[in-house]
Each structure stands twice: as C-alpha cells, then as structure tokens.
C-alpha cells in the first residue's frame, strides 16, 4: 500500500513534548546534535540526543512552531527522554510540557498521501499539496484542527498528523473511507528498513555513537557547545572502529536482529571464525524481493563487496556488504 498507494499508521505511542520559553532555542541547541538555530519557523529537522560520551540517548524530530518547539521521541524512550530533558533544563528558562496523552498521531504515507489529504482538507484551510518536505503547518482536516507535517519514517512521501485524541477514531475512519489502507507497525518496520532508517534499540542506542551509525551528518560540531560535543569531535577525528553496514545473503538463510557476525578470514584484530559483530535488523525485503540486513562490523569490513558469515541456527551462512540505502527514499523536495 505505502510503496504504491497510501497507508495509514497509528503512531500515537510516540512521545510528544512541547518546549517553550525565552530560551527554548538555546536549550534545544544544547541538548540536540543538529543546529536548531537553522530550523525556520514552520520547518522541522531530524536530530539526536547524545550522552557526554557520545552514545545516543535517542533520535528525535524537532518542529519549529510559533512561540514553541514540538519534540517527537521514540515510544520506548518517552519516560527516559522526559527525565533527560528535564535534567538538562535546570540552567535554562524553559518549560517542557507533555502532549503524548492529549494528542493523537497518525502517519499518512505513500505516493497517494498528498492527493488523499487534499480531499480531507477544509476549503481555504491551506494547501497541503504545495508543502515541501519537513514543513509543518496548522490545517483543518474534516473540520478538526490538525498540525500537519510533511515527514515520515517509510522512505516515501507522506505526512504526520497531530490532533486532539478525542477525534482520533473519527479521523481514522474518515481517512480509511477516502482510501487509506490501515498498516501495522510490522509493515512500518520493513518500510523503514529498506531505506536504512535507524530504529532505536536496533541500529542506535546508548552504546552506539552517530559516526558508527552513519549519522555523522546530524552532528554539527561547529554550532557551539552541546552535550557530547567533545567526545563526538574525538570520535570523528579518530574514525569509528566499527560501522553500520548493509548486507545481502549470499548463502541460503534469513538474518535476524542479534544474530552474531563472524569473520571469514583473518583481519587486523580477529581470526577466521571469530565473532566480529552483530546483526541489528534483518528480513526478506518485500520491495526488493531478497533477504537483506544491517549489522555492525569492523570498519575494514564495511566496504561494499566485503564478505562475512551470519550465524543462523548455529551454522555460518555467507553474506556480502552492499550499498546503503537498499531503497532510495522518494521524499517530496
């Protein structure tokens, strides 16, 4: 549905926090790795929260709204991120307000998303059709006040909707009636996997730094001080010892998350058959029709064409490093 038409996801389990006050921008600039000062009003950006040692607390989306910022965090980290943000807010004149329970969040994703939402939009409410990628605006869908962002987690064009939870069931039903196909979180996982979008607890986590996760582009070391900056500058200068690497199965088998990765030949610090890494996500790609995966392996083995073994049910099965992403995202620019 999402690769060819339009899919509908209930992602209300995600965390939603409002950050407001005279120092909202300065505060977010200090806790996030991206340059918040460059996010214009009505735009959004992807960022990371990092620990002082460079480990990733979470990946987030920051939306710049009038007089405040909306920060969307991963569902599994709602309480952790809430506490982490408050712990770092003491020296700033800011207020952090939870919206996770008061706002529902739906994702309308796929090449047909724009045409469908334009039908749902109240006449004169705005023009969702002309919204560029990452823009966010207040609109009215079926008469309900809705914050609409042209963002998503599928590798396709699409929108994410924020609105009062009391309207959630009605809005869902109306979008389905217009032709949106209900999709589950399992489908969302395969959709994010194909364009190699990271998932917390798999590709990223407290023990993973942005450079080994191929997220160095989200770290703006030249913007001034922020949590983790010193450690991240050192990691960048030295180069990461391991890298997130995409692979295809050469032998028969399907790799899954947490499967061990073993060396085929000897290397600088390993012997043949020694464990050198771990699979973060693996599955048969529905779009590409073959078993693919992502794994952390030594940087020397992260180049395209490198081979290693995935241990599947106790037996080594050959895999080969390939170019990432597996599927080129089709966002509206």
pLDDT classification of 194: cutoffs 50, 70, 90: very high
DSSP letters for 302-328: -STT-EEEEEETTEEEEEEEE-S-SS-
pLDDT of residue 123: 60
Mean pLDDT of 263-290: 97
Does the pLDDT value for residue 285 go beyond 80? yes
Instruction: Please state which CATH class domain 7-190 belongs to.
Output: alpha beta
Mean pLDDT of 155-184: 98
pLDDT of residue 127: 78
Q: Which residues contact 289 (CB under 8 A, 6 or more apart)?
A: none
Does the pLDDT value for residue 333 go beyond 90? no
Domain boundaries, the chain: 7-190, 241-322
pLDDT of residue 126: 59
Q: Is 241-322 assigned to CATH 2.40.30.110?
A: yes
Mean pLDDT of 57-75: 98
Mean pLDDT of the chain: 97
pLDDT classification of 124: cutoffs 50, 70, 90: low
Does the pLDDT value for residue 190 go beyond 70? yes
Taking the model in full, what pTM does it have? 0.96
DSSP letters for 124-169: TS--GGGPPTTBEEEEEETTEEEEEES--SSSB-EEEEEEEGGGHH
pLDDT of residue 122: 76
């Amino acid at each position: 549905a999402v690769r060819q038409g339009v899919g509908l996801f209930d992602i209300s389990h995600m965390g939603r926090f409002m950050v407001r006050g005279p120092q909202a921008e300065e505060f977010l600039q200090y806790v996030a790795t991206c340059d918040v000062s460059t996010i214009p009003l009505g735009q959004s950006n992807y960022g990371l929260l990092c620990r002082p040692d460079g480990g990733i607390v979470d990946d987030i989306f920051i939306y710049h709204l009038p007089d405040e910022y909306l920060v969307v965090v991963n569902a599994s980290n709602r309480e952790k991120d809430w506490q982490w943000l408050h712990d770092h807010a003491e020296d700033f004149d800011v207020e952090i307000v939870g919206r996770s329970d008061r706002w529902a969040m739906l994702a309308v994703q796929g090449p047909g998303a724009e045409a469908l939402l334009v039908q749902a939009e109240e006449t004169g409410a705005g023009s969702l059709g002309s919204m560029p990628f990452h823009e966010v605006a207040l609109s009215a869908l079926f008469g309900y006040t809705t914050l609409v962002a042209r963002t998503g987690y599928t590798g396709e064009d699409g929108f994410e909707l924020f609105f009062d939870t009391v309207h959630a069931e009605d809005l869902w039903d109306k979008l389905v009636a217009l032709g949106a196909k209900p999709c589950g979180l399992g489908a969302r996982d395969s959709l994010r996997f194909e364009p190699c979008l990271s998932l917390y607890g798999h590709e990223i986590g407290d023990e993973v730094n942005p450079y080994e996760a191929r997220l160095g582009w989200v770290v703006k070391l030249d913007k001034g001080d922020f949590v983790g900056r010193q450690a991240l500058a050192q990691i960048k200068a030295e180069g990461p010892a391991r890298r997130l690497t995409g692979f295809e199965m050469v032998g028969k088998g399907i790799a899954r998350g947490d499967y061990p990765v073993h060396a085929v030949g000897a290397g600088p610090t390993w012997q043949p058959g020694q464990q050198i890494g771990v699979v973060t996500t693996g599955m048969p790609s529905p779009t590409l029709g073959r078993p693919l995966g992502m794994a952390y392996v030594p940087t020397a083995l992260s180049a395209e064409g490198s081979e290693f073994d995935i241990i599947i049910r106790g037996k080594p099965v050959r895999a080969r490093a390939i170019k990432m992403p597996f599927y080129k995202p089709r966002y509206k620019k």
